[in-house]
Amino acid sequence: MTSSDPISTTIPIRVLYIVGSGRSGSTIIANVLDQIPGTVSPGELYYLWDRGLIGNDRCGCGKALRSCELWSTLIADTLGSDEDPSAMVRRRNTTVRTRHLVRVFFGRRNRQLRAFLDPTARVYRALSERTNSTLIVDSSKVPVYGLALAKHPAFDVRFLHLVRDPRAVAYSWQRKKDSLAGNTKRLMTQHSATKSSLMWTGWNGIAQLLWGRSHRYLRIRYEDFVAAPQETCIEILRHAGNPDPDLSVFTDATTVHLEPSHSVSGNPARFSTGNVSIKSDSEWTEKLARNSRIVTVALTWPLLLWYRYWGRS
């Protein structure tokens, strides 16, 4: 397919779009799904243009993105010199951020949005073709970006709403962690319990309101995935249109064998390969400071109750 092909006259690109708060465990779930035949998890494609093509961060395969065999040829063949990544970042930032929710929701005509989504669709299409995948798992989580993809005729989007205890999320945002995305040490973004909790409530609330009643929506608690990873993967893949997935990635009930992925951005867990044990991370129950706990519960309690996190330590 060339960049001039009409993208809306072919079969829609099926995308499982993960929504919810950051630090909710989407990276490990996407990593596991990436190993399922017919499925590819390219990480957080929202950040392809800045962190990937401009920043040249490391791909999940370990190479700088512009040196990765998949992405370097895919971008060159799909976009050529027609699209400047800086222009794509400008278009993205003026069309699909949270502040653009109302405009995207009501589908108002927007030339800038179309100029961002058409080349984006060509990238997803090429990714699907080159990896022989009928399902792309995009863990970007940015709600308005997911909404915009769903409204574009090139895409068939199903939503996976991943939620995690907000106190575990707050603890994760406070930890100092190397992103492993660059050649030198670069810490992942950190947030206070207040900011983490406001984001948790905001992004989960938007996902709930936008898609909670849709047949395209499935909500999973990260804690339930960790407790029963195989069963949860089957549920997710059925929702995404794969009723009989090959789960040979599991070497036993809670262990997966991961090959390198070609993920653009995400938690450093995306670089994990070999046999990986899926287990609960409950460090927060002992190490999250009391003040942070109080702030988190105060700012998240309606959805914390809704998602049945009340009463956990």
- Would you count residue 157 as binding Zn ion (CB under 5 A)? no
Query: Least separation, in Å, of the C-beta of 57 and Zn ion?
Result: 11
- Would you count residue 262 as binding Zn ion (CB under 5 A)? yes
Of 200 and 271, nearer to Zn ion (C-beta) is 271
Is there a contact between 36 and 247 (Cβ–Cβ < 8 Å)?
A: yes
Judged by CB under 5 A, the stretch of 4-12, 186-194, 214-222, 261-269 that binds Zn ion is: 261-269
Judged by CB under 5 A, the stretch of 32-40, 90-98, 163-171, 259-267 that binds Zn ion is: 259-267
Of 61 and 96, nearer to Zn ion (C-beta) is 61
Of 259 and 283, nearer to Zn ion (C-beta) is 259
Is there a contact between 300 and 201 (Cβ–Cβ < 8 Å)?
A: yes
Binding residue count for Zn ion, defined by CB under 5 A: 4
In a 10 Å sphere around its CB, with 0-12 CB exposed, 13-18 middle and 19+ buried, how is residue 302 labelled?
Answer: exposed
* Residues between 77 and 96 with contacts to Zn ion, criterion CB under 5 A: none
From CA 268, how far away is CA 215, in angstroms rounded?
32
Of 131 and 204, nearer to Zn ion (C-beta) is 131
Is there a contact between 70 and 292 (Cβ–Cβ < 8 Å)?
A: no
Residues 53-72: x where in contact with Zn ion by CB under 5 A, - otherwise, as a string = ------x-x------x----
- Would you count residue 75 as binding Zn ion (CB under 5 A)? no
Query: Least separation, in Å, of the C-beta of 264 and Zn ion?
Result: 9
The answer to whether the Cα torsion of 122, 123, 125, 130 is positive or negative is: positive
Residue type, 304: L
Of 68 and 88, nearer to Zn ion (C-beta) is 68
Query: Least separation, in Å, of the C-beta of 34 and Zn ion?
Result: 12
Residue 164: φ, ψ to 5°: -145, 150
Residue 220: φ, ψ to 5°: -130, 140
Write out the DSSP string of 245-296: ---TTEEETTEEEEPP----SS-GGGG--EEEE-----THHHHS-HHHHHHH
CB neighbours of 270 closer than 8 A, spacing ≥ 6? 27, 30, 31, 43, 60, 261, 263
Query: Least separation, in Å, of the C-beta of 261 and Zn ion?
Result: 8
Query: Least separation, in Å, of the C-beta of 163 and Zn ion?
Result: 29
From CA 62, how far away is CA 180, in angstroms rounded?
9
Of 13 and 68, nearer to Zn ion (C-beta) is 68
Query: Least separation, in Å, of the C-beta of 131 and Zn ion?
Result: 11
Of 33 and 61, nearer to Zn ion (C-beta) is 61
Residues binding Zn ion (CB under 5 A): 59, 61, 68, 262
